[in-house]
Amino acid sequence: MNKTKADFLKRFGKIRDLPSLPSIVTKVNQMLNDPNTTNASLSRVIEKDQAIVFKMLQLVNSAFFGLRDKISTTNEAAIILGFDAIRNIVLSLSTFNILNHLFEQNSNKHFRIDSFWRHSIGVAVLSRYLAEQAMVGDPEKCFVCGLLHDMGKLMLAHYFPDEFIRVIEHARQNDLIYLDAENKILPACHPEVGYFIIKKWGIPSHLANTIYSHHAIQPDAAFLEESIIVNTANGIINSYYADFLNNNTSPENIKYAYFNPHARKRLNVWIETAPKWFPEVKPLIHDAWAFFL
């Protein structure tokens, strides 16, 4: 890492009001690294946060999960969905709440939190769908990676609004996608910022590494498949719903600049045939929007 980039990222380390994850997320992560953890013991910890329990049960009983029988307790959810899915749900809900709260008083006119979440939720749902259908990566991990892949943009917009605005204006004036403008203006881009924050939170490595590499995919990188899925989902969502930062796309026309070459090589058939299968994903995205937003 060059000195300029390192100095830029250190600025985030000096932020006093940088949010921290709730203790329940840390505790759940610790428990899932313990082979002696049981469904019952995990449930007792989660049930200490009734707000999370309420939202979790809402989510697992929604059309998004498509379960036949209604789940009424966290213990049932852990048994049916498994530990990893429960961790990802708790992490997704907790992080969503934290980042939303961060932007309650934000006045950056170039960044609309509702548009940010509509994009992120769309990428999360499509990532899960592609992982299941293409049998690439873990669907539940891909969902949470998709949900949080752009959190570096949110952090930049909130803590360094002047730099963020310069990137947006450069992108729009020069008809660039956001990442290309970021590379021109900033010493570190949003994947690196997101990775820096996630590492400070002590989040599992699959999430940190996927956030870091979801644009700059390396064929020998850890969690390659999750990065390919998130990159592909991001490109399709930006193409179908218009990029929420650039406004330089024509909805439902694939813009190939969004896709990493490794993602195109692995999932090109899904990118090229999106007009045929994407309509069946739209209702799932709209259901997830209704749930989260």
H/E element, 53? helix 50-60
pLDDT confidence tier of residue 175, bands split at 50, 70 and 90: confident
pLDDT of 238 higher than 80: yes
Question: pLDDT at position 265, please?
Answer: 93
pLDDT confidence tier of residue 184, bands split at 50, 70 and 90: very high
Q: Provide DSSP, 154-181.
A: HHHHHH-HHHHHHHHHHHHHTT--HHHH
Question: Vertex 114, ends 108 and 118: CA angle to 5°?
Answer: 130
Give residues with Cβ within 8 angstroms of 105, minimum separation 6.
none
Residues 164-188 have a mean pLDDT of: 90
Question: pLDDT at position 106, please?
Answer: 64
| Mean predicted lDDT score pLDDT of the chain | 88
H/E element, 82? none
Alpha helices, H only, 135-160: 139-148, 151-159
pTM higher than 0.75: yes
Neighbours of 259 (CB within 10 A): 24
Residues of the chain above pLDDT 90, percent: 45
pLDDT of 121 higher than 90: yes
CA distance 259 to 231: 6
pLDDT of 250 higher than 70: no
Domains of the chain in sequence order: 3-292 (1.10.3210.10)
pLDDT confidence tier of residue 249, bands split at 50, 70 and 90: low
Question: pLDDT at position 255, please?
Answer: 84
Mind listing the pLDDT tens digit for each residue in 125-149? 999 999 999 999 999 899 999 999 9
Residues of the chain above pLDDT 70, percent: 95
CA distance 200 to 196: 6
Q: Residue 107, exposed/middle/buried by CB under 10 A (0-12, 13-18, 19+)?
A: exposed
Residues 55-75 have a mean pLDDT of: 86
